[in-house]
Amino acid sequence: MSSEQIIIFDTTLRDGEQSPGCSMNTKEKLEVARALVDLNVDVIEAGFPIASPGDFEAVQMIAERFSDRSTICALARSREDDIAKAKAALANAEKRRIHVFLATSAIHREHKLKMDKQQIIERAISSVADAKEFCDDVEFSPEDAARTELDFLCEVVEKTIAAGATTVNIPDTVGYATPNHYFKVISYLKDNVSNIDKAIISTHCHNDLGLAVANSLSAIEAGARQVECTINGLGERAGNAALEEVVMALRTRADFYNVHTNIKTERLFPTSQLVSSITGMKVQRNKAIVGRNAFAHEAGIHQHGVLQERTTYEIMRAEDVGYAGENLVLGKHSGRHAFRDRVKELGFELDDQTFQKTFDDFIALADKKKEIYDSDIIALIDNRMTDAPVRWKLISFHTSAGSAAVPTATLELQCEDQPVLCDAATGDGPIDAVFRALERIIEITARLEDFQVRSVSEGKDALGEVRVTINVLGRPYLGKGVSTDIIEAATAAYLQALNKADADRQAGVVSAAEKLTAKVP
Ligand SMILES: CC(=O)SCCNC(=O)CCNC(=O)[C@H](O)C(C)(C)COP(=O)(O)OP(=O)(O)OC[C@H]1O[C@@H](n2cnc3c(N)ncnc32)[C@H](O)[C@@H]1OP(=O)(O)O
Ligand SMILES: CC(C)C(=O)C(=O)O
Ligand SMILES: [Mg+2]
């Protein structure tokens, strides 16, 4: 059985713009329209021309620029003046559609429109006929269809199709439907509207119960062939069905739905980003398809699986939706396989011992830091790759400082298997106090010649790298340390430099140097 096409009708610029705080100016709407055309949506609902001169202008300009590629649609109430404005806005459009709507549910009839069923039918028919005089492509929406009596809904749909509607949209205006209920509504229309084959059945689902996408898919199962949706699920209240979710569900489960869309899926992520930046509506990280976490694996077991075979934990490929970011995110839940993979990608070949030490450093860092960047990993590797002697190890350090306190450092160090030594010192600041305490325990007096500190990665919790150069009896020694705590990084750097001086002392090198530079303090 060959796969049928689902028409993707994007209403980001109309219903999407109805999201509080999401108004766009004409220039912004043109940018979004361009992105939608590049995404290859079939129909763009560009606005509601009667609503404001700005909406009118936007529909007109979008129609002039893009109607050769996508059908441009304008919304109108079932009123002559609305339809006249829609016609005027679309006057120069190549592919154009007028979308007329009128509520049909008892609640809307009685309380909002104050019209009875007969008046609704007559108004709907005359409006569709009015729009039809201008263009062949006319869509009719019985607003609040999901809460409309089924027999009355069938009557409205049948009569508007007879009047010329080529698409009948069945809106779940208030997000009241559930998947099985909505399936039954569409099936009922298919079974009870005599001319239903003369029009395309469309869905327009709102997300008040978080079911907009599920309901849209259910309608497709029942025979709907157009889906109205928005980028990032923008729209009135909780929004509309998210275009990217509907499209990727149909593509990923083509085995089940046996339908396809014309969407260039690799444009989904960039389009989502564009709409987010223009509207200021951030995409939540765990949002399906276009959230930053949508293709990210942090858990070691998942990362191990994905490294062996991507499909163990991925049902879609990030590149198919245009996401180019990293999908194996290193963090506290990552394991050795993913870490080794990244180390290799960064171009390092570590022996087992260095790898294990670096991995331990990485896990310790991941406990402190939300995100681990490649630059963090490089700094950790670099730190472990130095062949510096490590006779003295830092067991613990404690500093206290403040405007009214004398900066003090208390340190515990261990030299090989000897008992742990503890000492304290004061200084000009906490780092100076640490340096003095280190010198006291190791019994080496050094002169600090250079001290540099820089941030290795991004964010407030970034790794800091400290590099020091000390002079011991005329010989320079370099030390480097990295940590999210700059005092800890400075301690590690100074200790590394002192360990080098200590190694020379052990080897008798310092005493030789001492003779040569006897005057150096
Ligand atoms: C479900 C949806 O998303 S529908 C689209 C909703 N979008 C918008 O409303 C966005 C833009 N809206 C607007 O700018 C304004 O509401 C306008 C310009 C459309 C109308 O403004 P106003 O003339 O001031 O009317 P207001 O919005 O206060 O009331 C709506 C009127 O439209 C009528 N109406 C509502 N829907 C329809 C309809 N489908 N067909 C005919 N009349 C309708 C109401 O009965 C009410 O009529 P009344 O003024 O005779 O009492
Ligand atoms: C205008 C109509 C289709 C609408 O947005 C709705 O009913 O939600
Ligand atoms: Mg809507």
CATH number, domain 392-516: 3.30.160.270
Q: Is 337 annotated as a binding residue?
A: no
Ligand 2 neighbourhood includes 108 CB (under 6 angstroms): no
Among protein residues, the one with the nearest Cα to ligand 1's atom 11 is 51
Q: Read off the pLDDT of residues 163-204 as tens digits, 9 standing for 90 and up.
A: 999 999 999 999 999 999 999 999 999 999 999 999 999 999
Among protein residues, the one with the nearest Cα to ligand 2's atom 5 is 15
Ligand 2 neighbourhood includes 15 CB (under 6 angstroms): yes
Which residues are CB-neighbours of 494 under 8 A, at least 6 positions away? 434, 435, 438, 468, 470, 479, 481
Q: Do the two domains 4-279 and 392-516 of this chain adopt the same fold? A: no
Ligand 2 centre distance from Cα of residue 10 (Å)? 13
**Confidence class of residue 517 from pLDDT cuts 50, 70 and 90?**
very low
Give buried/exposed letters for 402-421 (b at 16+ CB in 10 A, else e).
eeeeebbbbbbbeeeeeeee
How many angstroms separate the Cα of 66 from the Cα of each of 15, 36, 51? 19, 10, 21
Task: Find the residues whose C-beta lies inside 6 A of ligand 1.
Answer: 15, 18, 48, 50-51, 77-79, 101-102, 112-113, 143, 173, 236
Question: Rounded CA gap, 22 and 42, in Å?
Answer: 23
Question: Rounded CA gap, 153 and 108, in Å?
Answer: 13
**Confidence class of residue 1 from pLDDT cuts 50, 70 and 90?**
low
| Ligand positioned closest to the Cα atom of 176 | 2
* The ligand 1 atom nearest the CA atom of 52: 14
| Ligand positioned closest to the Cα atom of 78 | 1
| Ligand positioned closest to the Cα atom of 17 | 1
Domain formed by 4-279, architecture = Alpha-Beta Barrel (3.20)
pTM as predicted: 0.81
Identify the weakest region by mean pLDDT among 1-10, 28-37, 332-341, 472-481: 472-481
Ligand 1 centre distance from Cα of residue 402 (Å)? 64
Ligand 2 centre distance from Cα of residue 259 (Å)? 25
What are the extents of the domains in the chain? 4-279, 300-385, 392-516
Ligand 2 neighbourhood includes 19 CB (under 6 angstroms): no
Ligand 3 centre distance from Cα of residue 162 (Å)? 24
Sign of the four-CA dihedral 200, 45, 102, 133: negative
**Confidence class of residue 520 from pLDDT cuts 50, 70 and 90?**
very low
Instruction: Please tell me the predicted confidence (pLDDT) of residue 474.
Output: 84
Ligand 1 centre distance from Cα of residue 216 (Å)? 26
Q: Read off the pLDDT of residues 272-318 as tens digits, 9 standing for 90 and up.
A: 999 998 888 989 999 999 998 999 888 889 989 888 989 999 999 99
Sign of the four-CA dihedral 5, 11, 13, 17: negative
Instruction: Please tell me the predicted confidence (pLDDT) of residue 388.
Output: 76
Among protein residues, the one with the nearest Cα to ligand 2's atom 2 is 143
How many angstroms separate the Cα of 3 from the Cα of each of 7, 66, 203, 262, 442? 13, 28, 19, 12, 77
Q: Is 367 annotated as a binding residue?
A: no
> Is 60 exceeded by the pLDDT of residue 226?
yes
Q: Read off the pLDDT of residues 231-275 as tens digits, 9 standing for 90 and up.
A: 999 999 999 999 999 999 999 999 999 999 999 999 999 999 999
CB 173 within 8 A of CB 207: no
Among protein residues, the one with the nearest Cα to ligand 1's atom 17 is 51
> Sheet containing 392-402: which strands, arranged edge to edge?
392-402, 405-415, 421-426
* The ligand 1 atom nearest the CA atom of 102: 39
Among protein residues, the one with the nearest Cα to ligand 2's atom 1 is 101
**Confidence class of residue 358 from pLDDT cuts 50, 70 and 90?**
very high
**Confidence class of residue 492 from pLDDT cuts 50, 70 and 90?**
very high
Ligand 3 centre distance from Cα of residue 202 (Å)? 13
Among protein residues, the one with the nearest Cα to ligand 1's atom 20 is 51
Instruction: Please tell me the predicted confidence (pLDDT) of residue 519.
Output: 33
DSSP state string for 417-437: TSPPEEEEEE-SSHHHHHHHH
> Is 60 exceeded by the pLDDT of residue 427?
yes
Instruction: Please tell me the predicted confidence (pLDDT) of residue 516.
Output: 37
Question: Rounded CA gap, 14 and 98, in Å?
Answer: 13
Q: For all residues of the chain together, what is the average pLDDT?
A: 93
Q: For every residue of 441-485, which 3-state class applies, written as one string?
A: HHCCCCEEEEEEEEECCCCCCCCEEEEEEEEECCEEEEEEEEECC
**Confidence class of residue 52 from pLDDT cuts 50, 70 and 90?**
very high
Instruction: Please tell me the predicted confidence (pLDDT) of residue 428.
Output: 95
Instruction: Please tell me the predicted confidence (pLDDT) of residue 383.
Output: 77
Q: Read off the pLDDT of residues 378-399 as tens digits, 9 standing for 90 and up.
A: 788 877 777 678 899 999 999 9
Place of tokens 């310790």: 364
* The ligand 1 atom nearest the CA atom of 50: 18
Q: Is 40 annotated as a binding residue?
A: no
CB 474 within 8 A of CB 520: yes
- In the chain the first and final C-alpha atoms are separated, in Å, by 90
Question: Rounded CA gap, 444 and 498, in Å?
Answer: 7
Q: Which residue has the higher pLDDT, 373 or 95?
A: 95
Q: Read off the pLDDT of residues 141-151 as tens digits, 9 standing for 90 and up.
A: 999 999 999 99
| Ligand positioned closest to the Cα atom of 48 | 1
**Confidence class of residue 515 from pLDDT cuts 50, 70 and 90?**
very low
Q: Is 423 annotated as a binding residue?
A: no
Question: Rounded CA gap, 12 and 487, in Å?
Answer: 51
Q: Within 13 Å, how many C-alpha atoms sit on residue 400's CB side?
A: 6
| Ligand positioned closest to the Cα atom of 113 | 1
